[in-house]
A and B are shown apart, each in its own frame.
Chain A
Amino acid sequence: SSIHCIRGTDLFGYIGIEAVLDQMRCKTMKAGFEFNIMVVGQSGLGKSTLVNTLFKSKVSRKSCAPDYEEKISKTVKLHSVSHLIEEKGVKMKLTVIDTPGFGDQINNDNCWEPIVKYVNEQYEKYLREELHINRKRRIPDTRVHCCIYFIPATGHRLRPIDVEFMKRLGKIVSIVPVIAKADTLTIEERQEFKERIRQDLAANGIHVYPQREYDEDPEERILNNRIRENIPFAVVGTDKEHQVNGNKVLGRKTKWGIIEVENVAHCEFANLRDLLIRSHLQDLKDVTHNIHYETYRVRRLNESNLNFSELGLSAVPLENGTADKCESDSHL
């Protein structure tokens, strides 16, 4: 067959192609969206409160468990809670994955392993669905689209556990680090802390979201560069409202004033929310699907070929935890 390429610049009228966008929008609105967000950090850093504040509803694990007790669990156990929320006709299935026990023990060696395992398990689930003979029209997506990592507001630098966690998870999921309970830092202290954190991240080769290498075009690079110059965002969360200047605002009331959560002069909660939800939500999903998932898939396919090329069939997944371990296994 032969192919001719013509530039359609001489159009004699209006065809109406842009209507395709409306068709697509209609369909996606009807189908609804899924979004899976993981929160990681020690007890007491305000993870549940922040998630509730982000989505303005009681979506965290704590709010959903009827007999919740504040206990430090002995191991890191992941809990996921799903909610269907709707706004202006757009339906979203939001899943919040909590990681109680992370970093809470005396010896926190390898406390990231259950998390790595969970992330990889979701990729595996999706891969199996995708390879199935009779696959669903819409494969249910449980992959972690975003991992918010809570850094305590010490004002110094990243701690070893922060570096170890982000080094490993940064390779398989999009990490958004935040400075938690930032109401103990002044603006100058906050800026210096952020600068040191950025230096530590660079020194350890940790790439957090939005990753520089995934910028698709110069326009996006400029937009994302400005975000990269300001992360990690310093946040404060609350679900309590107070009166300020005749308005009801979300805030934390102290003797020396009210910290308004949504006031960008006070903290960067609004910036985080805008990034995660209002401007980059779809991009987070795309990076997970097009990059992290594809990386996982390629690795899995190579593994199966290595061991079972005779059959062309793959067995149950190998017990691969962290990326480091993976490298040694592939030399079997």
Chain B
Amino acid sequence: MDAILMQEKLVERLLCPRVRTARQKEKQYVGFATLPNQVHRKSVKKGFDFTLMVAGESGMGKSTLVNSLFLTDLYKDRKLLNAEERINQTVEIIKHTVDIEEKGVKLKLTIVDTPGFGDAVNNNQCWKPITDYIDQQFEQYFRDESGLNRKNIQDNRVHCCLYFIPPFGHGLRPVDVEFMKALHEKVNIIPLIAKADCLTPNEIKKLKDRIREEIDKFGIKVYQFPECDSDEDEEFKQLDKELKECTPFAVIGSNTVVEARGQRVRGRLYPWGIVEVENQSHCDFVKLRNMLIRSHMHDLKDVTCDVHYENYRAQCIQEMTSKLAQDNRMESPIPILPLSTPDVDTEKLIKMKDEELKRMQEMLTKMQQQMHDKDQ
């Protein structure tokens, strides 16, 4: 709102003659330092969008965590299937969209849920519907971006995938490794230790170390937090370091509000005590939320656009041009220009077309001249 007021004030000044005020300080001030505000104002008007995918077996607390993160109840009318119903269920993709507004900033949040993942007896390739979905969004964006009308392109690309690892095991299971490897070059993966309230602090530490080791061992590329700028203050750098050392985050979610230490908090009530979701000594929920929303949302989107999407696009174009080279009757569905190093055949074809065009242009000029002479 402030940016808009400022704009209005500027226009006022633009148009009303006023007594000249002393502008000693503004001697050398040009004024383009307001650029970030100008950009800011447009973003506030447009709003942001963010697509978050959650993946993991049933009962890992995915829905609860999403509700806790965004403080709404997205799954009010959900029906839980029993085991029989789930035998023949395949992995589905379900999208929930929420429009959230806070302090004038609008966020269109899309949660992509993957019920059925890892639930079957035979879970071979159970990630395929998920990778297909992600690829479909890339393809749709690619077509939109290459099309003629680009005014209102909807960005449905998945910006981040929270992967829930069960706390019961001793590290990554084969399905965890295969899933993450199938997706790590298509989406930003953030692995989480789910239902961390069944582990003691020591157990959590051991599990985290083990998982980090295995991620390295298997060459899984999870989302990396960008490096801190050298000119950031020490406090920020310290926080950043703590964040990085804390991964994978051990999280707990809750749909219920309980009374703890005289306050109403989101938590889980057990006979032996109360687990507070937002208590940093109980779990890493706050770290996850801060990272996801308050500090790294923009970077997650950037990495999706600049790295994952560009890889997909480059691959796509390679495939298309190699197909075209083989079968030159095929029409290209999207516009492509000659590549940086076109092969000899393509060069010849281009030259031929060029000469044809020149001949046509000359013919046309001749015709026009003839018509002009006739009229005289």
- Chain A residues within CB distance 8 Å of chain B: 1-8, 10-21, 23-25, 27-30, 33, 35, 54-56, 85, 87-90, 92, 128, 131-135, 137, 216-217, 219, 223, 226-227, 230, 247-248, 260, 262-265, 270-271, 273-275, 277-283, 286, 290, 294, 298, 301-302, 304-305, 307-316, 318, 332
Contact = CB atoms under 8 A, between A and B. Distances in A.
Interface stretch (B194-202, B244-252, B296-304): B296-304
Interface of B: 4, 7-8, 10-11, 13-20, 22-24, 27-36, 38-40, 42-45, 48, 69-74, 92-105, 107, 109, 133, 148-151, 229, 257, 289-290, 293-299, 302, 306, 310, 313-314, 317-318, 324, 328-332, 335-340, 346, 349-350, 353-354, 357, 360-361, 364
A247 B14 contact: no
Nearest to A217: B45
Contacts of A5: 97-99
Nearest to A298: B148
Main secondary structure, interface of A, reads mixed
Contact of A279 (B7, B39, B98): B7
Contacts of B294: 16, 19
Which of A19, A92, A137 has the most chain B CB within a 10 Å cutoff? A19
B350 A279 contact: no
Q: Which 7 A-B pairs have the closest CB atoms?
A: A312-B332, A282-B38, A23-B298, A88-B33, A19-B294, A278-B31, A8-B100
Contacts of B4: 219
Given A14-B102, A274-B14, A133 B339 contact: yes
Contacts, number: 257
Most B Cβ at <10 Å: residue of A17, A226, A308: A17
A248 B306 CA distance: 49
Contact of B99 (A8, A14, A16, A273): A8
Contact of A310 (B317, B328, B338, B346): B328
A217 to B, nearest CB: 8
Given A25-B39, A274-B31, 15 more contacts: A6-B98, A16-B290, A19-B293, A20-B48, A20-B298, A21-B40, A24-B43, A27-B298, A133-B340, A227-B11, A230-B15, A282-B42, A298-B149, A301-B148, A313-B336
A23 B290 CA distance: 12
A310 B331 contact: yes
A309 B329 CA distance: 10
| Residue among B39, B45, B96, B349 with max Cβ neighbours from chain A (10 Å) | B39
A28 B38 CA distance: 12
B150 A294 contact: yes
A210 B292 CA distance: 38
A264 B17 contact: yes
B33 A87 contact: yes
Contact of B33 (A90, A230, A283): A90
